[in-house]
Amino acid sequence: MRESFAQTVFDLWRIICQGGWVMGAIFAAGQVGWFLVLERWWAYRKLDGKAQAFWANAPGDVREIARYLEGRRRRGIFGSVAAAITISRAQGREAMIQRAREALHEGIPQLSSHLGTLAVLAGVAPLLGLTGTVAGIMQTFRVITLYGAGNPSMMAGGIAQALMVTEAGLVVAFPLLILHDHLQKRADAIEDDCVAGATRLIRLYSEAGATA
C-alpha cells in the first residue's frame, strides 16, 4: 500500500517536472478548484431545503409559529429571514417585506461565495494548457534550429510536453466547469426556497393580523 502510494506520488511529481511550471500551475489550479467544490458542497448541504423542512414541522397556529421562531437560534439564511419577519410582524406587511429583503440581501451573497473563483480556475486551466502547448512547440523549433529535423527523437520532448500540458488543462477544466454549473443551480434553488418560505410566512402573518 505504501509502495503504491509512493510510486503514485513519484509519477505525479515526474509528470509535473516534465510539464514545467505550466503543469505545476495547472495542478495547483485543480487542487484549489476541488477544494472550493467540496467547501461549497458542504455549505449547501447544510442550507438545502431548510424552508421546506420548517413548514413540514411548523406548528399549526400562527402564534405558536411566532413563539417557535422567536425562541429559536437563527441558523442558515431562512432562519435569519424568518426571525426578521417575525420580529417586525407587528409593524405590518410592508415592514415585514422590507426586513425580509434586508435579511436576504445579507444572506444570499454567501451562497455565491467562491463560485466566481471556481469559474475563473475552470477558465484558466485550458489557457494554461495552451501556454504549455506554445512553450512545447517553441522548444521543438529550438531543437530543429540547433540540430535540424533529421532526428525525431530529439524533437519528441517538446511535442510530448505540448500535448501533455494541453491534455492536463482540459482534464482539470471540464469537471470544474460541470461542477460549477451544478453548484450554481443548487445556490439558486436554495435562494428560491428561502424566498418562497419567506413569502408564505409574510402572507400567514398578514392574514392573521387582518383577522385579529
Q: What is the pLDDT of residues 20-50, one digit of tens each?
A: 778 888 888 999 999 999 999 988 888 777 7
Print the domain residue range for 43.
26-58+112-211
Check residue 11 and give its pLDDT.
Answer: 54
Does residue 72 belong to any structural domain of this protein? no
Instruction: Give the mean model confidence (pLDDT) for residues 148-154.
Output: 61
pTM: 0.77
Q: 136 lies in a domain?
A: yes
Q: What per-residue confidence (pLDDT) applies to 117?
A: 92
Contact 138, 95 (CB under 8 A): no
Render pLDDT for 55-81 as a digit per residue (tens, 0 to 9): 777 767 777 777 777 655 566 788 888
Give the pLDDT confidence of 91-115 residue by residue, as tens digits: 888 888 888 888 888 888 888 888 9
- On whether residue 69 sits in a domain, the answer given is no
Between CA 191 and CA 198 the distance in angstroms is: 11
Overall domain count for the chain: 1
Is 116 within the bounds of a domain?
Answer: yes
Residue with cell 437563527: 74
Whether residue 76 lies inside any domain: the answer is no
On whether residue 192 sits in a domain, the answer given is yes
**pLDDT beyond 50 at 212:** no
Answer whether residue 95 is part of any domain: no
Q: Is residue 143 part of a domain?
A: yes
